[in-house]
């Protein structure tokens, strides 16, 4: 029983020692601050600034602001400072430089060790933003072989974001930077493009004092029957060197040509609010036109509807001709067809027979010479009965009989009363 009581007493002492150590560490850091051996400063500015200010900073939407955090001690830091996260709606906060700027300063006969950290801020919508106090985990040497570690906090800050100009709205494609450059590159799979070849278009945007994810997409994904688009993943890169923040965005799109014809890829525009001059600028990249030749498969695909209709019509005509041929195997051909056949073969006997059959069909007389009462017709009729006539003569006689038949029919329809016998 005595051993159990001893065990619980030891456990209580260990727990008490652990929980009591945290207030002592916190009190130790507080005592360093109270004794002016440790200090924390923070401020928000648009550029390099060593002057903290409590005023509300006015920025444009998407414009870069920098939160400076500086910790200093008359002792020295035993490790780097760990900065807590910033979670504010519609605000992007990024620690682009993972290394602090370390330097020393002589003040009132004392040497101060300083660490300066930078966090870039990018408001995404209009409004006022409040940055809460940010926890900083630090470790400071207090004596040889001893250190104090714990958390200290920055002061809250505010900034106000607004649209830079009324010519833009938050749904437009635009960016804010102190400097922007755009360029493009074309790569063709062949010098003479044929359907099936590819065109690659690369666009690069570089900006200063902005963020790569905030640079807009210039290449769109509009559908087109002349090509298929295959966009590649965007290449993003952000870098910083001594307060110089640069961002890069590369877009690449492959156009696989599907058909021949004239292809025009559109120009590209970028709206840019220049923070150096506080003005809106428009950057442009020219488009390009290409002449694409058809391949066999693309030509068939491009004309598939016309070819389908033509094949259907040809098939219908072929079936009709076949049905006509089957019918006339057991029936006589039309008189006009037989006349043309005889005319082509110059069969005088057949021509003469067909003319008399036509005369019997369209006239009451059986004599060719009596069909018309003219001298010219009499000579043609005598020639047709006794000698061989030319094809032109036979054709004239054939058409003359037909034309008279049509004229009589029209006259009968137009003047029906003239055909009535007198009362």
**pLDDT tens track for 81-94:** 889 889 999 999 99
Q: What is the pLDDT of the chain when averaged over all its residues?
A: 82
**DSSP readout, 281-296?**
EEEEE--EEEEEBPPH
* Residues counted in the chain: 423
Please name which of 272, 286, 110 lies closest in space to residue 184, comparing C-alpha atoms: 286
pLDDT level of residue 125 (50, 70, 90 thresholds): very high
The pLDDT of 104-124, averaged and rounded, is 88
| Sequence-ordered list of residues with C-beta below 8 angstroms from that of 358, at least 6 positions apart, any chain | 335, 398, 401, 402
State yes or no: pLDDT of 414 exceeds 50.
Answer: no
Q: Which residue has the higher pLDDT, 62 or 4?
A: 62
Among the residue ranges 74-78, 159-163, 203-207, 241-245, the one predicted with the least confidence is 241-245
What's the token pair of residue 283?
Answer: 């950057």
State yes or no: pLDDT of 411 exceeds 70.
Answer: no
Q: How far is the C-alpha of 47 from the C-alpha of 338, rounded, in Å?
A: 102
Q: How far is the C-alpha of 240 from the C-alpha of 217, rounded, in Å?
A: 23
Please name which of 221, 203, 209, 214 lies closest in space to residue 174, comparing C-alpha atoms: 214
Q: Which residue has the higher pLDDT, 157 or 404?
A: 157
What pLDDT, on the 0 to 100 scale, is given for residue 188? 92
Whether 189 and 214 have beta carbons less than 8 Å apart is answered as no
3-state secondary structure of 372: coil
What pLDDT, on the 0 to 100 scale, is given for residue 12? 52
State yes or no: pLDDT of 413 exceeds 50.
Answer: no
The pLDDT of 250-270, averaged and rounded, is 90
Among the residue ranges 24-28, 134-138, 295-299, the one predicted with the least confidence is 24-28
What pLDDT, on the 0 to 100 scale, is given for residue 404? 58
């Amino acid at each position: 029983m005595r051993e159990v009581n001893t065990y619980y007493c030891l456990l209580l002492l260990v727990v008490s020692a652990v929980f009591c150590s945290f207030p002592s560490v916190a009190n130790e850091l507080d005592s360093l601050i109270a004794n002016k051996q440790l200090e924390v400063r923070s401020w928000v500015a648009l550029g390099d600034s060593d002057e903290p200010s409590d005023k509300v900073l006015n920025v444009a939407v998407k414009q870069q602001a920098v939160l400076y955090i500086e910790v200093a001690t008359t002792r020295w830091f035993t490790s780097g400072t760990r900065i807590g996260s910033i979670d504010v709606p519609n605000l992007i906060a990024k620690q682009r430089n993972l290394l602090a700027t370390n330097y020393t300063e002589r003040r009132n006969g004392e040497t101060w060790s300083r660490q300066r950290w930078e966090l870039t801020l990018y408001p995404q919508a209009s409004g006022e933003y409040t940055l809460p106090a940010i926890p900083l985990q630090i470790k400071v040497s207090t004596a040889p072989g001893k250190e104090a570690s714990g958390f200290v906090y920055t002061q809250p800050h505010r900034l106000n974001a607004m649209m830079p100009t009324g010519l833009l709205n938050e749904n437009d494609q635009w960016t804010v930077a102190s400097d922007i450059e755009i360029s493009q590159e074309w790569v063709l799979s062949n010098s003479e493009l044929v359907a099936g070849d590819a065109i690659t278009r690369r666009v690069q945007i570089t900006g200063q004092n902005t963020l790569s994810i905030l640079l807009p997409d210039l290449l769109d994904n509009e559908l087109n029957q002349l090509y298929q688009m295959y966009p590649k993943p965007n290449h993003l890169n952000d870098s910083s060197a001594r307060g110089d923040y640069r961002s890069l965005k590369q877009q690449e799109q492959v156009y696989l040509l599907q058909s021949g014809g004239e292809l025009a890829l559109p120009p590209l525009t970028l709206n840019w609010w220049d923070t150096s001059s506080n003005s809106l600028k428009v950057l442009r990249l020219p488009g390009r036109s290409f002449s694409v030749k058809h391949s066999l498969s693309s030509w068939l695909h491009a004309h598939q509807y016309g070819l389908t209709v033509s094949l259907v019509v040809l098939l219908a005509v072929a079936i009709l001709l076949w049905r006509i041929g089957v019918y006339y195997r057991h029936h006589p051909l039309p008189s006009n067809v037989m006349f043309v056949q005889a005319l082509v073969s110059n069969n005088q006997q057949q021509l003469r027979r067909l003319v008399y059959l036509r005369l019997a069909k369209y006239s009451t007389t059986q004599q060719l010479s009596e069909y018309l009462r003219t001298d010219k017709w009499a000579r043609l009729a005598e020639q047709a009965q006794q000698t061989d006539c030319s094809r032109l003569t036979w054709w004239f006689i054939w058409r003359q009989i037909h034309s008279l038949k049509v004229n009589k029919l029209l006259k009968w329809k137009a003047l029906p009363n003239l055909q009535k016998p007198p009362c």
